[in-house]
Amino acid sequence: MPITQFVHDTLSSNVLCGVMTLAVVLLSPNPAQADDWDLLDAVLAQYVKPVQRAGIRFHGVDYEALALDPRYRQLISQIEGSQPAALRSSDERLAFYINAYNVYAIKMVIDNMPMDSIRDAGSLFTPVWKKTVGTIAGEPVTLDQIEHAILRSMGEPRIHFAIVCASLSCPNLRREAYRAEKLEQQLEDQTKMFLQDDTKGVELDGSRARFSQIFDWFEEDFDAAGGVEAFVHRYRDLPAPLRWRANLPYDWDLNRQ
Protein backbone atom coordinates (compact mmCIF):
# COMPACT_ATOMS: atom_id res chain seq x y z
CA MET A 1 0.00 0.00 0.00
CA PRO A 2 1.41 3.47 -0.88
CA ILE A 3 2.44 5.49 2.16
CA THR A 4 0.06 8.29 1.22
CA GLN A 5 -2.86 5.88 1.12
CA PHE A 6 -1.83 4.41 4.51
CA VAL A 7 -1.68 7.86 6.10
CA HIS A 8 -5.03 8.81 4.60
CA ASP A 9 -6.71 5.62 5.84
CA THR A 10 -5.21 5.96 9.33
CA LEU A 11 -6.28 9.58 9.72
CA SER A 12 -9.75 8.81 8.42
CA SER A 13 -10.10 5.95 10.88
CA ASN A 14 -8.97 8.09 13.81
CA VAL A 15 -11.36 10.89 12.86
CA LEU A 16 -14.23 8.42 12.57
CA CYS A 17 -13.45 6.92 15.98
CA GLY A 18 -13.31 10.38 17.50
CA VAL A 19 -16.66 11.35 16.02
CA MET A 20 -18.27 8.12 17.21
CA THR A 21 -16.86 8.55 20.73
CA LEU A 22 -18.17 12.12 20.88
CA ALA A 23 -21.59 10.96 19.69
CA VAL A 24 -21.76 8.32 22.41
CA VAL A 25 -20.87 10.89 25.06
CA LEU A 26 -23.46 13.36 23.78
CA LEU A 27 -26.28 10.90 23.25
CA SER A 28 -25.88 8.62 26.26
CA PRO A 29 -27.73 9.38 29.52
CA ASN A 30 -25.48 11.33 31.84
CA PRO A 31 -25.40 9.69 35.29
CA ALA A 32 -24.02 12.91 36.78
CA GLN A 33 -27.36 14.65 36.23
CA ALA A 34 -28.79 12.55 39.05
CA ASP A 35 -26.74 14.67 41.43
CA ASP A 36 -27.15 18.04 39.68
CA TRP A 37 -29.93 19.93 41.42
CA ASP A 38 -29.38 23.55 40.34
CA LEU A 39 -32.67 23.53 38.42
CA LEU A 40 -34.60 22.23 41.43
CA ASP A 41 -32.96 24.88 43.62
CA ALA A 42 -34.21 27.64 41.31
CA VAL A 43 -37.75 26.27 41.04
CA LEU A 44 -38.19 25.75 44.79
CA ALA A 45 -36.81 29.19 45.62
CA GLN A 46 -39.30 30.85 43.25
CA TYR A 47 -42.49 28.87 43.85
CA VAL A 48 -42.34 27.89 47.54
CA LYS A 49 -42.83 30.36 50.40
CA PRO A 50 -43.94 30.39 54.07
CA VAL A 51 -47.72 30.45 54.55
CA GLN A 52 -50.15 30.00 57.44
CA ARG A 53 -53.62 28.53 57.03
CA ALA A 54 -56.05 26.76 59.35
CA GLY A 55 -53.71 27.56 62.24
CA ILE A 56 -50.85 25.60 60.64
CA ARG A 57 -47.56 27.07 59.49
CA PHE A 58 -46.24 25.50 56.30
CA HIS A 59 -44.37 26.14 53.06
CA GLY A 60 -46.95 26.72 50.34
CA VAL A 61 -46.46 25.86 46.67
CA ASP A 62 -47.75 27.96 43.79
CA TYR A 63 -48.75 24.93 41.73
CA GLU A 64 -50.55 26.86 39.00
CA ALA A 65 -47.60 29.13 38.22
CA LEU A 66 -45.08 26.30 38.47
CA ALA A 67 -47.04 24.20 35.98
CA LEU A 68 -46.63 26.95 33.37
CA ASP A 69 -42.87 27.33 33.86
CA PRO A 70 -40.85 25.47 31.16
CA ARG A 71 -38.29 24.60 33.82
CA TYR A 72 -40.85 22.33 35.48
CA ARG A 73 -40.92 19.99 32.46
CA GLN A 74 -37.14 20.17 32.25
CA LEU A 75 -36.96 19.06 35.86
CA ILE A 76 -39.26 16.11 35.25
CA SER A 77 -37.18 15.10 32.22
CA GLN A 78 -34.02 15.34 34.32
CA ILE A 79 -35.37 12.93 36.92
CA GLU A 80 -36.76 10.56 34.30
CA GLY A 81 -33.40 10.43 32.53
CA SER A 82 -31.29 10.05 35.67
CA GLN A 83 -29.34 6.91 36.53
CA PRO A 84 -29.34 6.76 40.35
CA ALA A 85 -27.64 3.34 40.27
CA ALA A 86 -24.52 5.15 39.08
CA LEU A 87 -24.36 7.38 42.14
CA ARG A 88 -21.33 6.61 44.28
CA SER A 89 -22.47 7.05 47.88
CA SER A 90 -25.49 6.34 50.05
CA ASP A 91 -25.86 10.08 50.73
CA GLU A 92 -26.06 10.77 46.99
CA ARG A 93 -28.73 8.11 46.57
CA LEU A 94 -30.63 9.31 49.63
CA ALA A 95 -30.60 12.91 48.39
CA PHE A 96 -31.67 11.80 44.92
CA TYR A 97 -34.71 9.85 46.09
CA ILE A 98 -35.82 12.51 48.59
CA ASN A 99 -35.75 15.07 45.78
CA ALA A 100 -37.45 12.66 43.40
CA TYR A 101 -40.26 12.00 45.90
CA ASN A 102 -40.87 15.70 46.49
CA VAL A 103 -40.85 16.55 42.79
CA TYR A 104 -43.15 13.67 41.93
CA ALA A 105 -45.57 14.63 44.72
CA ILE A 106 -45.73 18.06 43.09
CA LYS A 107 -46.23 16.37 39.71
CA MET A 108 -49.11 14.29 41.07
CA VAL A 109 -50.85 17.49 42.13
CA ILE A 110 -50.21 19.31 38.86
CA ASP A 111 -51.31 16.30 36.81
CA ASN A 112 -54.65 16.19 38.65
CA MET A 113 -55.50 19.85 39.31
CA PRO A 114 -57.81 21.22 40.55
CA MET A 115 -57.96 19.41 43.89
CA ASP A 116 -58.31 20.13 47.59
CA SER A 117 -56.05 17.31 48.73
CA ILE A 118 -53.45 15.14 47.04
CA ARG A 119 -55.52 12.15 48.12
CA ASP A 120 -58.21 13.31 45.67
CA ALA A 121 -55.95 12.05 42.87
CA GLY A 122 -56.51 8.49 44.03
CA SER A 123 -59.56 6.31 44.51
CA LEU A 124 -60.92 3.75 46.94
CA PHE A 125 -59.30 0.94 44.96
CA THR A 126 -56.10 2.77 43.95
CA PRO A 127 -54.86 5.25 46.57
CA VAL A 128 -52.81 8.12 45.20
CA TRP A 129 -49.64 6.66 46.72
CA LYS A 130 -49.97 3.55 44.56
CA LYS A 131 -50.60 5.34 41.26
CA THR A 132 -47.77 5.54 38.76
CA VAL A 133 -46.48 9.09 38.93
CA GLY A 134 -43.48 8.94 36.60
CA THR A 135 -40.41 6.96 35.68
CA ILE A 136 -36.85 6.69 36.95
CA ALA A 137 -34.19 5.07 34.77
CA GLY A 138 -36.93 3.85 32.45
CA GLU A 139 -38.98 2.12 35.16
CA PRO A 140 -42.42 3.33 36.29
CA VAL A 141 -42.56 4.39 39.94
CA THR A 142 -45.16 5.32 42.53
CA LEU A 143 -44.79 7.56 45.57
CA ASP A 144 -45.34 4.46 47.68
CA GLN A 145 -42.39 2.66 46.05
CA ILE A 146 -40.03 5.60 46.50
CA GLU A 147 -40.98 6.03 50.16
CA HIS A 148 -41.32 2.46 51.38
CA ALA A 149 -39.28 0.24 49.08
CA ILE A 150 -36.36 2.64 48.62
CA LEU A 151 -36.09 5.40 51.20
CA ARG A 152 -37.25 3.55 54.32
CA SER A 153 -35.05 0.60 53.46
CA MET A 154 -32.01 2.88 53.76
CA GLY A 155 -32.47 3.05 57.54
CA GLU A 156 -32.57 6.84 57.94
CA PRO A 157 -35.61 7.85 60.04
CA ARG A 158 -35.11 11.56 59.34
CA ILE A 159 -36.38 11.03 55.80
CA HIS A 160 -39.87 11.37 57.30
CA PHE A 161 -39.17 15.07 57.89
CA ALA A 162 -37.73 15.64 54.42
CA ILE A 163 -40.24 14.02 52.08
CA VAL A 164 -43.42 16.04 51.63
CA CYS A 165 -46.77 14.61 50.53
CA ALA A 166 -48.21 17.99 49.53
CA SER A 167 -50.30 18.47 52.69
CA LEU A 168 -50.51 21.11 55.43
CA SER A 169 -49.44 18.78 58.24
CA CYS A 170 -46.46 17.43 56.33
CA PRO A 171 -42.99 18.71 57.18
CA ASN A 172 -42.17 21.89 55.31
CA LEU A 173 -41.11 21.55 51.69
CA ARG A 174 -37.53 22.76 51.79
CA ARG A 175 -36.80 25.75 49.55
CA GLU A 176 -33.67 24.10 48.21
CA ALA A 177 -32.71 20.69 46.88
CA TYR A 178 -31.14 18.04 49.08
CA ARG A 179 -27.49 17.45 48.26
CA ALA A 180 -25.08 14.78 49.44
CA GLU A 181 -22.44 17.24 50.57
CA LYS A 182 -24.78 18.91 53.08
CA LEU A 183 -27.38 16.20 53.61
CA GLU A 184 -26.59 15.73 57.32
CA GLN A 185 -27.13 19.42 58.07
CA GLN A 186 -30.31 19.52 55.96
CA LEU A 187 -31.86 16.47 57.64
CA GLU A 188 -31.01 17.79 61.09
CA ASP A 189 -32.49 21.17 60.23
CA GLN A 190 -35.69 19.66 58.83
CA THR A 191 -36.19 17.38 61.82
CA LYS A 192 -35.59 20.12 64.37
CA MET A 193 -37.86 22.55 62.51
CA PHE A 194 -40.70 20.04 62.40
CA LEU A 195 -40.46 18.84 65.99
CA GLN A 196 -40.30 22.37 67.37
CA ASP A 197 -43.46 23.31 65.49
CA ASP A 198 -46.41 22.90 67.85
CA THR A 199 -48.92 23.27 64.99
CA LYS A 200 -48.00 19.92 63.46
CA GLY A 201 -44.89 18.37 65.05
CA VAL A 202 -45.18 18.24 68.85
CA GLU A 203 -47.89 19.83 70.99
CA LEU A 204 -47.08 20.04 74.70
CA ASP A 205 -49.59 20.51 77.53
CA GLY A 206 -47.92 20.15 80.91
CA SER A 207 -46.74 16.56 81.28
CA ARG A 208 -48.74 15.46 78.28
CA ALA A 209 -47.82 15.65 74.62
CA ARG A 210 -49.32 14.89 71.28
CA PHE A 211 -46.85 13.97 68.55
CA SER A 212 -47.41 13.98 64.81
CA GLN A 213 -49.13 10.87 63.50
CA ILE A 214 -45.95 10.26 61.49
CA PHE A 215 -44.64 8.63 64.68
CA ASP A 216 -47.63 6.30 64.73
CA TRP A 217 -47.44 5.31 61.07
CA PHE A 218 -43.67 4.73 61.12
CA GLU A 219 -42.98 3.98 64.79
CA GLU A 220 -40.64 1.06 64.03
CA ASP A 221 -38.38 3.30 61.97
CA PHE A 222 -37.31 5.05 65.19
CA ASP A 223 -36.41 1.89 67.12
CA ALA A 224 -32.72 2.16 66.22
CA ALA A 225 -32.70 5.69 67.71
CA GLY A 226 -34.03 4.43 71.05
CA GLY A 227 -37.70 4.75 70.21
CA VAL A 228 -40.00 7.66 69.43
CA GLU A 229 -39.70 9.53 72.73
CA ALA A 230 -35.90 9.32 72.80
CA PHE A 231 -35.75 10.48 69.20
CA VAL A 232 -38.02 13.48 69.80
CA HIS A 233 -36.09 14.40 72.95
CA ARG A 234 -32.95 14.89 70.85
CA TYR A 235 -34.60 17.86 69.17
CA ARG A 236 -36.99 19.24 71.80
CA ASP A 237 -37.05 19.51 75.58
CA LEU A 238 -39.71 17.24 77.04
CA PRO A 239 -41.03 17.15 80.61
CA ALA A 240 -40.38 14.12 82.80
CA PRO A 241 -42.39 12.10 83.36
CA LEU A 242 -44.14 12.42 80.02
CA ARG A 243 -47.35 10.91 78.72
CA TRP A 244 -47.59 11.11 74.97
CA ARG A 245 -49.56 9.79 72.06
CA ALA A 246 -48.90 10.16 68.35
CA ASN A 247 -52.37 11.48 67.61
CA LEU A 248 -51.94 15.15 66.67
CA PRO A 249 -54.64 15.84 64.03
CA TYR A 250 -53.24 15.55 60.51
CA ASP A 251 -54.55 18.06 58.00
CA TRP A 252 -54.49 16.62 54.47
CA ASP A 253 -55.52 19.88 52.76
CA LEU A 254 -53.26 20.77 49.86
CA ASN A 255 -50.18 22.83 50.73
CA ARG A 256 -50.93 25.44 48.10
CA GLN A 257 -50.22 29.13 48.56
Question: Is there a contact between 172 and 196 (Cβ–Cβ < 8 Å)?
Answer: no
User: Residue 36's pLDDT band (boundaries 50, 70, 90)?
Assistant: confident
DSSP letters, 162-199, are T---SBTTSPPPPSS---GGGHHHHHHHHHHHHHT-TT
Average pLDDT for 139-163: 98
Look at residue 35 in the predicted model and tell me its pLDDT: 67
CB 230 within 8 A of CB 169: no
Which tens digits make up the pLDDT trace of 226-247?
999 999 999 999 999 999 999 9
State how far the Cα of 255 lies from the Cα of 59, in Å rounded to an integer.
7
Q: Is the pTM of this model over 0.85?
A: yes
Region of 131 (left: φ > 0; alpha: ψ -120 to 50; beta: rest) is beta
Burial of 195 (0-12, 13-18, 19+ CB in 10 A): buried
Q: Are 201 and 212 in contact (CB under 8 A)?
A: yes
| Model confidence pLDDT, tens digit, residues 86-123 | 999 999 999 999 999 999 999 999 999 999 999 999 99
Cα separation of 140 and 254, whole Å? 25
- H-run or E-run covering 136: strand 132-136
pLDDT in tens, 50-67: 999 999 999 999 999 999
CB 211, CB 248: distance < 8 Å: yes
